[in-house]
Structure 1
Amino acid sequence: MKTLIAVTLAAVYGLVTRLMFGFLDNTTEIMSVTFLFVVPLVIGFLTVLLIPTEKTTSGTAAFFKPWLTSLVLLFITLLFNIEGLTCWIMLFPLFATLAGIGGLIAYHYKKSRTLEAVGSATMAWQKPNTLNVSLVFILPIALGSLEGGRAWTPQEITIREQLTIEAPVASVWQVLAGKRVVSHQLKRPLSSSLLGFPRHIATALDTLAVGGTRVSYYDSYYEKGLHFQEKVVRLEKERLLTFSVKTDPGQFPPTIMDEHILIGGKHLDILDDTYQFQALADGTTRVTLSSRFYINTPFNWYARIWANYLMSDILQGELYSVRERAMGAKLPIAFSDFDSGSKSAEKRHRRSHDSGPAGARQH
């Protein structure tokens, strides 16, 4: 019971700290070294400090018991929509490990204050100095106010994926050069799906020329209201196609993605996507898709691991989608009309879908 009380109190401390960081968002930042590194240390420290001595008699126990506190905090913040699942999946391994380190610090702190342990099978622990411990608990707020966003470091990253498509380069080019429809039934990338990244539904290119824009009608490019404004900035027929990417996160529904990893937000933005085409001797086509984006956090070394993993997963999914359409897969219509919404326009769209590779149509 005392262990449960200790875990609960430490979790409440973590929750209150999170709410304070959110309330003081003009001076403190959730995506900060203080919150993501110092706070879990303090949570782990508090957990082991409050657990009775006889319940934590080894460093291993001191390291792993704060993981329970981290799990309780995870469920509370998810239950009340304080944090998103995606953010927690990315941060929990780091958060729980740091909490464990905080538990080890508390374990050795208590051990160092032994009164008379020599010759005794059970150590006696001194009560920690209340003032010193109190200072430790208010430290995150003080440090967070000093740090703000000063530790953010913008970093540009380029991710590339390749896929050989069993179709001539002209067919592959046609898929990207005209209007296209992407089915809901296309296999979506596993990792990005588990993390809640919206699935690609449909896009349309208004004109195949530099300055041409990918536009969307009635719904959006992606599920949940996510949409990108993409403009053709480089074009070499059947060789290269580059789109600049612009997002306006203020237009996205608040439930679309976790605010801390929202595309176009303070910490993540996509700059451009480039398709490169290479006709191979056997009649197939090698397509390279690269995405250039930036991350802006105080711990880019960790954020980059997840960014590489997720973006690679998304690019692979897009390349497989291109291959299915280039090879003539008959896919259901995702939108009934790209032009006017009338029944006659829908019929024209269906006729264009049934003609040419995978329904692609040259503008």
Structure 2
Amino acid sequence: MPDDPTRPPPQPTPPWDAAEDPSRLPFRKWTPLVSGMLFGLLLRLAFSGAAGSRWSAMVGAFIWLAPLATGAITVYLAERQQRRSWSYYAWAPALASALVVIGSLLVLIEGLICAIVIVPLFTFMGMAGGLCMGLVCRLTRWPRHAAYGFAALPLAAALVLPHGAPAQLGQVERSLWINAPASAVWQGINDIRNIQPHEVAASWTHRIGVPPPVEAVTVQEGDQRVRKSRWAKGVHFDEIIQDWEPNRHVRWTYRFTPDSVPPGALDDHVAIGGAYFDLNDTAYTLTPEAGGTRLHLRISYRLSTDFNTYANWWAQALLDSFAQTLLQLYKARLEGQV
């Protein structure tokens, strides 16, 4: 039959795939946010593979795309209730993504160090996903299809993206003047014991869960000098002396054994010598200055992640804090002996 010119044109369906009366849908105020968080936790469980595998929580498919999908699902479910504001598209997905990290921490599948490091990135990417889904809901009539796409994106990316993260090298350098002769500083570097928690309390590296040092003593093993380092929580490892100029310069590399880092002492994702992070070497240089000694510390490291730029910012901040704390420890110890 031909169209009746007197009949009013059909009204477009709501772009958010809602039923005729969205208020009748079985959602409550906080259900979209909680559901988005639970979806993100399911993705975290899916990415619980061993370090270095394509299903590890450190791969780019999870780090970048899981919070993006979490934010998108949060907004999609909220839009099925009612039209939301642009501010909602930002804060609700950001909160849901942050709660994924907190939830992972509470159920003991994530460590404190990793949680603190990753929550800013998760929050930002969750917000981006929410804003993208908000745009889809306002401009298209296929938000459900888009939501399915966002949900499947992390899993699909894990299957198709190249496996293996590039290595990035970096270093941190700090120096401090100490009112003590070079010989005393040299002795302090090679034999420091009974380090108390309050002596390193200023370092927020240790506040977020990195075990503090307890002692370090250089010994002779055959024809090799080895600095025996022991940290809290049972962490212990050897520092193999590579350069040795008494009262002037010392440099060492690291040797870890299978029992160097007991389970739970460090997050698996940031374990020294692991798939994602390692210390290459450390060097101290002593220079006489103004009646005392300027102690220069250099720490070099390796990162191997799918988000090296972001991870390097944290590595610089953490190692810088650690380096400053070590130098202050030597200064306090040695000047207290003068």
Pairwise TM-score range, normalised by the shorter structure: 0.7 to 0.9
Tell me the equivalent position of 1:303: 311
How big is the alpha-carbon RMSD for the aligned residues of Structure 1 and Structure 2? Answer: 2.3
Match of 2:30 in 1: 4
2:147 to 121, 133, 136: 133
Q: Which residue of 1 aligns with 2:283?
A: 274
For 1:209 and 1:191, the matched residues in 2 are separated by: 38
Could you tell me whether the CA contact under 8 Å between 1:232 and 1:242 is conserved in 2?
yes
Q: Residues of 1 paired with 2:216 and 2:278: CA distance?
A: 20
- Report the AA paired with residue 176 of structure 1: I
Deviations 1:227-255 (A, max 9, x none): 22111110112110111112236542221
Once superposed, which parts of structure 1, at least 4 consecutive aligned residues long, lie more than 6 Å away? none
* AA matched with 2:156: A
Aligned AA (1:61): Y
8 Å contact kept, 1:249–1:264: no
Within 2, Cα distance between the matches of 1:205 and 1:211?
10
1:257-286 CA-partner distances (Å, limit 9, x unpaired): 111111111011111110000001x21110
1:243 aligns with 2:252: yes
Identify the match of residue 61 of structure 1 among 88, 112, 118.
88
Instruction: Give the share of equivalent positions with the same residue, in percent.
Output: 26
Q: Which residue of 1 aligns with 2:40?
A: 14
1:347 corresponding residue in structure 2: none
Match of 1:354 in 2: none
Q: Which sections of structure 1, spanning at least 5 residues, go unmatched?
A: 114-125, 330-356, 358-363
Q: Distance in 2 between matches of 1:312 and 1:234?
A: 23
Q: For 1:288-333, what per-residue CA distance to the aligned partner results, in whole angstroms no more than 9, with x for missing partners? A: 011111111111111110001110111111111111222244xxxx
Q: CA–CA distance in 2 between the matches of 1:138 and 1:304?
A: 29
Match of 1:284 among 273, 280, 292: 292
Equivalenced residue count is 311
Matches within 5 A, 1:148-297: 149-150=163-164, 152-178=165-191, 180-207=193-220, 211-215=224-228, 221-248=230-257, 251-280=260-289, 282-297=290-305
Q: After the TM superposition, which of the residue ranges 227-236 and 65-74 deviates more from structure 2?
A: 65-74
Distance (whole Å) between structure 2 residues aligned to residue 133 and residue 94 of structure 1? 21
| Residue deviations 1:30-86 (CA, integer Å, cap 9, x gap) | 212211111111110110111046765332221111122123322321111011121
* Residues 24 and 6 (structure 1), Cα distance of their counterparts in 2 relative to 1, 3 Å cut: farther
CA separation in 1, counterparts of 2:197 and 2:157? 47
Which piece of structure 1 moves more, 132-141 or 18-27? 18-27
Supply the distance in 1 between the matched residues of 2:336 and 2:256 (Cα, whole angstroms): 31
Is the 8 Å Cα contact of residues 263 and 269 (structure 1) preserved in structure 2? yes
Structure (1 or 2) with the greater strand fraction = 2
Ranges in structure 2 where 5+ consecutive residues have no aligned partner: 1-26
